[in-house]
């Protein structure tokens, strides 16, 4: 039997995606009853764009939001160019 996972940091390592979907399910999906599929889509889009990217801090990003990290990266990239 061979393991299906690659070494850490390789593109086929899906730990990051699994972590995101676990957070999405635990923080939104399992706590909400959606009357329609459209309501679910809107709520998930809002969770990702507003809460997950702009409000929720991430320990892997130095306790910053993804939006803050992206902004810092853009500023650093602009200064280096």
Residue 5 within any structural domain of the chain: no
pTM above 0.75, yes or no: no
Residue 58 within any structural domain of the chain: yes
Mean pLDDT in residue range 7-15:
66
pLDDT digits (tens, 9 = 90+) for 23-75: 999 999 999 999 999 999 999 999 999 999 999 999 989 999 999 999 999 99
Q: Would you place residue 15 in the very low, low, confident or very high pLDDT band (cuts 50, 70, 90)? A: confident
11 pLDDT above the threshold of 80: no
Structure tokens at 79: 């200064």
How far, in Å, CA of 33 to CA of 53, rounded? 23
How many other CB atoms are there within 10 angstroms of residue 52's CB atom?
A: 20
Residue 3 within any structural domain of the chain: no
How far, in Å, CA of 37 to CA of 50, rounded? 20
Q: Which domain holds residue 67?
A: 15-80
Number of domains in the chain: 1
How far, in Å, CA of 57 to CA of 81, rounded? 29
């Amino acid at each position: 039997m061979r393991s299906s996972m690659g070494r850490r940091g390789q593109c086929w390592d899906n730990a990051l995606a699994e972590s995101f979907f676990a957070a999405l399910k635990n923080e939104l999906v399992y706590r909400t009853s959606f009357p329609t599929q459209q309501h679910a889509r809107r709520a998930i889009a809002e969770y990702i764009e507003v809460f997950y990217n702009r409000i929720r801090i991430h320990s892997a990003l130095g306790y910053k939001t993804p939006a803050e990290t992206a902004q810092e990266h853009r500023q650093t990239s602009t200064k280096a160019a």
